[in-house]
Structure 1
Amino acid sequence: MAEKNERPIKVIAENRKARFNYAIEDTLEAGIALTGTEVKSIRNGKSTIAESYADPKDGEIWLINANIPEYLQANRFNHEPKRPRKLLLHRKQINKLMGAVERQGMTLVPLKMYFNERGRVKLQLALAKGKQLHDKRDTEKKRDWSREKGRIMRARG
């Protein structure tokens, strides 16, 4: 049999500060409802999700403040760069996330945006709780110690 030409997962944008600023409880994959010019702009690789978050509204989950710049070759049908974008999830997932956000005071943070094997834009969404300043310091100490430990082990041979 002929093997399919499978594409690897291509990461478009990553929110690297999220793991530092939030204690991540759970992650899930969500699709994003995009227009054609948004997809073309994402393929150019200029989008950012660093300051974005997801918010439940009217029984749906929306991605707020994600920046997908305008597609340069588009004409008057171009999109708005920071418009709210609907996240595509199953009803059970939406109910679970809405309950966690409303009852437990958690936050929905996007971790990374990527193209999956089928070429669809997906968003890895995390259910997270904000860290206090002392928690951030503790995380930084652990990371520094693990780096130092690695250096010592390499030096010993």
Structure 2
Amino acid sequence: MARPRPTTFDKVKVVAENRRARFDYALDEIFEAGIVLTGTEVKSLRFGQGNIAESYAEVKDGEVWLVNSNIPEFSHGNRFNHEPKRPRKLLLNAREINKMHGAVNRKGMTLVPLNIYFNSHGRAKVELALAKGKKAPDKRATVKERDWKREQGRLLRDKG
């Protein structure tokens, strides 16, 4: 029997975060994936450089690729530097890839990267979510709920 996966992942150092993802999408299921990187990409990430704000993931030929993520060139990388916006392969189990492929094709969902981080073993990981895009009324409801929670916290703090 397979060991159950943890719901939260051990994030030691978060490098890049997609903060708009939780606002623009209704997140369904979250996966942790490894990334295939070159040496200069790892060095750039360790310096805290990287951006996944406009990136997404796609399933192609039984593999998952992170597209449009920006990891800038390493300053001391000379001729061995990498392309900043190249597609990067993500490492997942075959079962997870099949689940993502089915959800994207049948249900019309999107694969959205939430953040890139280094785990406790020093490996670069991506947190991917199967998500469905929110419409404008849903976004307004999210803002309204967030403001009410903030106001509720203020009221409770002031009274007690």
TM-score, L = length of structure 2: 0.92
Alignment of 1:36-55 (within 5 A): 36-55=39-58
Matched positions, count = 151
Query: Matched residue of 2:76: which SS?
Result: coil
Q: Which residue identity does 2:94 align to in structure 1?
A: R
RMSD after superposition: 1.1
Distance (whole Å) between structure 2 residues aligned to residue 31 and residue 140 of structure 1: 33
The reply on whether 1:61 has 2:76 as its aligned counterpart is no
Q: Which residue of 1 aligns with 2:109?
A: 106
Partner of residue 128, structure 2: 125
State the distance in 2 between where 1:74 and 1:111 align. 27
2:145 counterpart of 1:142: yes
Shift of 1:8: 6.3
Q: Residue 11 of structure 2 contacts residue 117 of structure 2 at CA under 8 Å; is this kept in 1?
A: no
Q: Is 1:152 the counterpart of 2:155 in the alignment? A: yes
Secondary structure in structure 1 of the residue aligned to 2:156: helix
Aligned residue for 1:76, secondary structure, equals: helix
4+ residue stretches of structure 1 with deviation over 4 A? none
Q: Say if 2:79 is the partner of 1:76.
A: yes
Deviations 1:39-96 (A, max 9, x none): 0010110101111100111111100011100001011110000000000011111111
Consecutive unaligned residues of structure 2, counting only runs of 5 or more, are 1-9
Match of 1:4 in 2: none
Aligned-partner residue type, residue 17 of structure 2: E
Taking the aligned partners of 1:74 and 1:10, their CA distance within structure 2 comes to: 23
Structure 2 counterparts to residues 79-98 of structure 1, below 5 A: 79-98=82-101
